[in-house]
């Protein structure tokens, strides 16, 4: 039996996660309040998208348009990849159609279902990656802070 978006919605509801099922787009959206990550609307929110791909054999979670690629796409992508590299399941993808970088995580579905805990792990990976990525690209980010001179005592 293949996984469906309805199955994902039921698992989210079972786990107590508020979500929006967009049947027309065959996707679910979940909103998380973030500590550091700032979305393109300048809000501290991560609007995560869940979908079923590969004929119901894969669950894919993304944070579309997570970061602008900027004029130095390769450098921005490399900085994000390094920041996200320690987050299990998460990866950075370049979306050439929007000129942005998105975060993604996916897992194969073996028996047509995922436990709420497996879905939460994917969601957590994306939000954690967004937080780490924000530190990497913001002015005075982790590299800038490490290199800042100390004040004399």
Query: Over 80: is that where the pLDDT of 149 sits?
Result: no
Contacts of 136 (CB under 8 A, 6+ apart): 79, 80, 82, 83, 142, 143
Averaged pLDDT score across all residues of the chain: 88
Convert the pLDDT of each residue in 82-121 to its tens digit: 999 999 999 999 998 898 999 999 999 988 788 889 999 9
**Residue 153: is its pLDDT beyond 60?**
no
Question: Given this model, what pLDDT does residue 147 score?
Answer: 30
**Chain centroid to CA 138: how far?**
17
Q: What one-character DSSP code corresponds to residue 149?
A: P
All domains in the chain, ordered by first residue: 5-129 (3.30.1460.10)
* Whether residue 141 has pLDDT greater than 80: no
């Amino acid at each position: 039996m293949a996984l469906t978006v309805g199955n994902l919605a039921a698992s989210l509801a079972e786990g107590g996660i508020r979500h929006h099922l967009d049947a027309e787009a065959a996707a679910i959206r979940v909103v998380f309040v973030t500590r550091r990550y700032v979305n393109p609307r300048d809000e501290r929110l991560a609007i995560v998208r869940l979908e079923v791909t590969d004929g119901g054999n894969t669950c894919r979670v993304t944070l579309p348009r997570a970061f602008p690629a900027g004029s130095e796409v390769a450098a921005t992508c490399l900085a994000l990849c390094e920041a996200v590299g320690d987050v299990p399941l998460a990866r950075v993808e370049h979306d050439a159609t929007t000129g942005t970088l998105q975060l993604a995580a996916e897992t194969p579905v073996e028996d047509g279902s995922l436990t709420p805990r497996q879905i939460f792990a994917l969601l957590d990976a994306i939000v954690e990656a967004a937080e780490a990525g924000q530190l990497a690209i913001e002015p005075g980010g982790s590299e800038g802070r490490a290199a800042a001179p100390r004040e004399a005592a």
